[in-house]
A and B are shown apart, each in its own frame.
Chain A
Amino acid sequence: MTTFLFLFRELLGAVRARSAGFLLLTCLLVAVFLGSFASLFLFVSPEAQDPADLSPSEVRLWLSPRLTTSAIDALYYGLQVRDDVSEIRYQFEQQAGGTGARGLFIVTVPGTADVAGFAAAAMRMDGVDEVETLAEEDTVRPLSLAASIRIGLLLGLTLSAALSLIAGRMGFRRLLEDFANEIRLLRLSGIPQRAISPPVVALGAMLGMLAGLLIAAGIALLHLTVSPTSAFAAVGLVEVGRVAGILVVDFLLGATMGSLIGLLGASFLGRPVFSPLP
């Protein structure tokens, strides 16, 4: 452990301008990769619209299973003559999803302002078990991702992954070249390859975790600043559970991606240039 920590610190100290640019670029590309990944889950499309979903000016009346056909007819005609009713549609029990109700009326009122008054009146009607209106939270419109944006994100995901591997490879090659004399001395002194490689992989993992933290901070900031009622509030951004889950997955993905880049870098250690003898 002492050797690992010592070599890790020395390797960090060996980062010079020649390698720092590429390593920074690697970190940013991993961040782009993680950002694209997170966007696919945060800015989700809404689920397919249920045909029975209410519009803001509709009220759903669930009918008691005890009602006879004639009682349903009577209720229908009673609603039809009301001033605050524009239209009534009846759905059978099966259409309503077989909930045990006798069926339901979907009543359209003249304006959204009439919804509350009509719903209160409907609650008092005989044969109506439940009254349903469009809840306020349901008015939040999820941002849907257009297919082209989705494809763009997937392309960005692939491209950033490939570019981060390339930039990481170049960064680690330069870093290890700057550290070559040290590596030769380590080899000459009997320090095994299994002790020299882990700090390189750990440095890669650290870059990935840094990128993960960067994106996590961005997502957390969005989550805190976007109002749930805002028209731009995507479903994924306002759900705490989803945001937390994506943060964790993003961080782990960053660490994995960084470790892969580190492994790619450690593969350079087998090159003859690091051999201790001329």
Chain B
Amino acid sequence: MVQVSELHFSTEDGIKVLEDVHLHVERGEMIFLLGPAASGKTLLFGLLGAQIPPQHGQILVHGRNITRLGRDRILDLQRRIGFLPQGFQPLRRSVLENVLFKLRALGDFREQAEEKAMLSLERVGLLKEQSTDATDLASIDRVRLGLALATCNDPLLLLLDDLFAGLDASEQEEICRLLEQMHIGNKTILCAARAPLPLCAHRYPLVRIEDGAVRAS
């Protein structure tokens, strides 16, 4: 599903941010990518999510080599990846309208979009909050909304960057259990986080990343 080999990335100043990264994630697998701030997690996710063009190395996502894809194929791949970015900010509108915005922009008609949005809100437990202004949500509900947005168009791969940031231990545990439920749906999930991880995360493969290199997995 995701195969990364010999991945290198440097800034314009020549500072190496990622160095010889190798990663293999099977279809339907959920793994946690653990690393401190500025270790290269966000950049790696940007590359895996086809949001940042790679410099050196190979990235295969769902059998497609990102380094060789044309512009339109890249866009097509981006639509098949559910990406929850670090520091996710919801839109200034209701919870339901947040999800509807993405689906309508992707070309769904209102009725179809509403059906999908309700389903994804129900999946993350936000159905009762559908009319609430998304900017008024508590931290944990913001994460739920981010997950609903990432999963509403049924992506093949979920990239969740710094998912547990700003949550207390019990909230982290709750979100982790929500991920487990999503994983039962056989989604491939990559979740980047900083230590300490919630207990339930330890049941899944863990990849440690430090200073732009994968140290252990």
Contact = CB atoms under 8 A, between A and B. Distances in A.
Give the residue among B49, B78, B92 with the most A Cβ atoms within 10 A: B78
5 contacts: A2-B109, A6-B105, A190-B75, A190-B81, A192-B75
Interface string B64-108: 000000010001111111010111011110000000011011110
A3 B102 CA distance: 10
Contact of A277 (B85, B90, B102): B85
Interface in B45-79: 46, 49, 51-52, 71, 75-79
B149 interface: yes
Contact of A182 (B83, B85, B101, B107): B101
A234 B209 CA distance: 79
B86 A10 contact: no
A44 interface: no
A189 B104 contact: no
Given A192-B75, A277-B51, A277-B52, A186 B105 contact: yes
Contacts of B46: 277
B42 interface: yes
Given A3-B107, A182-B91, A190-B75, A278 B51 contact: no
Contacts, number: 62
Interface string A159-196: 00000000000000000000001101111111110000
Given A182-B91, A277-B85, A7 B51 contact: no
A188 B106 contact: no
Contact of A188 (B51, B77, B109): B51
B105 A7 contact: yes
7 nearest interchain CB pairs? A190-B78, A190-B79, A190-B75, A6-B104, A277-B46, A181-B91, A188-B83
B76 A189 contact: no
Contacts of B89: 181
A100 B87 CA distance: 91
Contacts of B49: 188
A277 B78 contact: no
Contacts of A7: 105
Given A2-B109, A185-B102, A190 B87 contact: no
Interface in B144-167: 149, 153
Nearest to A187: B51
A241 B78 CA distance: 55
Contact of A3 (B51, B80, B87, B105): B105
Contacts of B79: 189-190
A276 interface: yes
Count chain B CB atoms within 10 A of each CB in A2, A184, A188 and give the residue with the most: A188
B12 to A, nearest CB: 13
Contact of B42 (A6, A188, A277): A277
Given A185-B149, A189-B78, A190-B78, A278 B85 contact: yes
Interface in A223-278: 276-278
A178 to B, nearest CB: 9
Contacts of B107: 2-3
Contacts of A192: 71, 75
B199 to A, nearest CB: 28
B105 to A, nearest CB: 6
Interface string B19-52: 0000000000000000000000010001001011
B48 to A, nearest CB: 12
Contacts of B76: 190
A6 B112 CA distance: 14
A182 B75 CA distance: 17
A189 B105 contact: yes
A10 B101 contact: yes
Contacts of A3: 104-107
B90 to A, nearest CB: 8
A182 B93 CA distance: 11
A2 B51 CA distance: 24
Given A3-B107, A181-B91, 11 more contacts: A3-B104, A3-B106, A6-B105, A185-B91, A185-B102, A185-B105, A185-B149, A189-B105, A190-B106, A276-B85, A277-B46
